[in-house]
Amino acid sequence: MTDMEVGETPGPGRDPRPEAAAAGAALTHPAGAPAGEAPDAGPHPRGAPRDLPAHLAHVAGRELPDEDILVPDEEPPPRPLPARIAYGVAGLALFVTALGLMKEGATALIPSLQGSVFTDNALSTLGLGWLGSCLVLSGSPVAASALTLLDGGAIDRAQAFTMLTGSRLGAAFVVLVVGVVYAVRHKGQGRARAPVSIGVLSLLMTMVVYVPGALVGYVLLSRGTFDGVDIGTSPGLTSATDAAFGGLVDLVERVAPGWALFPIGLGLLLLGFSCIDRVLPAVHPDRLRDGDEGWYGRVWPMFAVGCLVTLLTLSVSVSLTLLVPLVAKGHLRRANTLPYIAGANITTLADTLVAAILLGNQDGVRVVVAVTLVVSAWTVFLLVTAYPLLRRVLLGVARRILASNVRLAGFAAALCLVPAVLIAV
């Protein structure tokens, strides 16, 4: 189902006259512009190459504000296989090296972190994970940091659990940031609130799922419910990665002071995730809607696609950004994205589980498993028993946040102020 069906009364801002359509075409491909190129009047969407054609699409929102969005017409060409192999090897090397450096760096940071405002209790580490993922615009490096701090003894298992939970609460902040920047850059071309609304809905859905789930998971973890979990990697795999990339860790350790190992490792981890993103298959939005008409308006197919796409991309921010052109082209209503977001919030922990296994710390594995199982169970329970109510409440909150720039700014500020207060508690 689209936001505007055939024969439906045009939403606010849409002009049904032929001359208006011609004006829209002129905006997309102005006179004198070479064929196949987008206009110079506005920037391309995030991730779209400059030489791909794009058009301005209007989305009439029924439950959220309507907007005009510049979207690409074509799918970017895939990277050559040799380039993907090179990025894969580089990403693996950076990933393993980063974990090794952060593990050693965490040990060096213990004297300064123990009893500090950042790690003196579970609420502080919750705020640290939340604020950290907002600042680095990614949850995965912060989640990996929680595991390495646990492995190094800088924090305990309960604190690692809350820091991991915090990293999930701030992970979708990048979608809101990109949406706001996109809307500001398109000022004067119509309202561009679809990216912003996706960011707001992503953050709201994450809070509804992770906050109650974290409370239950924290209690179960403290009672030893997951102490029987034992997932380890084979000694052969560990020795192979150490033999292949362990020399890089030793090299950096020789030239860098102990206190610098952790931030260097965090930087390498960001580079590693960037390389891995270039290896993984590009999931074009049009592929998500292949199949029977209307499946993307149902709960469980959208939930499954959200799980799968995030598992393929290993990035919740990437998988959620894919929703923007789908909404802009009218293939998907923003109101139907909540199950997709819920699924994405579960499988986004896959790379964190891999990191825990590679570290060989079973407490780290149990922390990730605890978060994953409890959040998954709570998510499924909500979708089965209370989805209509959940959908209505979240859309109502999002509509009020998007009603003015002041409210939106206040919402964004709260996302940074709340974790800062938690750290100071």
* Of the candidate ranges 80-89, 153-162, 267-276, 291-300, the one whose mean pLDDT is the lowest: 291-300
Q: What is the mean pLDDT of the chain?
A: 73
How would you write the chain as a 3-class SS string? CCCCCCCCCCCCCCCCCHHHHHHHHHHHCCCCCCCCCCCCCCCCCCCCCCCCCEEEEEECCCCCCCEEEEEECCCCCCCCHHHHHHHHHHHHHHHHHHHHHHHHHHHHHHHHHCCCCCCCCHHHHHHHHHHHHHHHCCCHHHHHHHHHHHHHCCCCHHHHHHHHHHHHHCCCHHHHHHHHHHHHHCCCCCCCCHHHHHHHHHHHHHHHHHHHHHHHHHHHHHCCCCCCCCCCCCHHHHHHHHHHHHHHHHHHHHHCCHHHHHHHHHHHHHHHHHHHHHHCCCCCHHHHCCCCCCHHHCHHHHHHHHHHHHHHHCCHHHHHHCHHHHHHCCCCCHHHCHHHHHHHHHHCCHHHHHHHHHHCCHHHHHHHHHHHHHHHHHHHHHHHHCHHHHHHHHHHHHHHHCCCHHHHHHHHHHHHHHHHHHHHC
Please report which confidence band the pLDDT of residue 41 belongs to, taking 50, 70 and 90 as the band edges.
very low
Residue tagged 């004006």 (tokens): 23
* Of the candidate ranges 125-134, 307-316, 409-418, the one whose mean pLDDT is the lowest: 307-316
Top pLDDT among 76 and 385 is at 385
pLDDT per residue as tens digits for the range 103-116: 677 666 655 665 67
Q: What is the mean pLDDT of residues 70-90?
A: 73
Assess whether pLDDT exceeds 50 at residue 187.
yes
Assess whether pLDDT exceeds 60 at residue 122.
yes
Cα 353 off chain centre by: 16
Q: Could you tell me the pTM of the whole model?
A: 0.67
What pLDDT was estimated at residue 356?
A: 86
Assess whether pLDDT exceeds 70 at residue 419.
yes
Assess whether pLDDT exceeds 60 at residue 80.
yes
For the chain, the structural domain boundaries read 79-424
pLDDT per residue as tens digits for the range 286-329: 554 444 446 667 889 899 999 988 887 676 766 776 676 566 55
What pLDDT was estimated at residue 206?
A: 93
Tokens coding 313: 């991309």
Please report which confidence band the pLDDT of residue 205 belongs to, taking 50, 70 and 90 as the band edges.
very high
What pLDDT was estimated at residue 326?
A: 63
Top pLDDT among 301 and 14 is at 301
Assess whether pLDDT exceeds 60 at residue 29.
no
Assess whether pLDDT exceeds 50 at residue 47.
no
Highest mean pLDDT (candidates 73-77, 109-113, 145-149, 367-371): 367-371
Highest mean pLDDT (candidates 11-15, 40-44, 390-394): 390-394
Assess whether pLDDT exceeds 80 at residue 207.
yes
What pLDDT was estimated at residue 368?
A: 92
Assess whether pLDDT exceeds 50 at residue 6.
no
Q: What is the mean pLDDT of residues 54-71?
A: 53
What pLDDT was estimated at residue 55?
A: 55
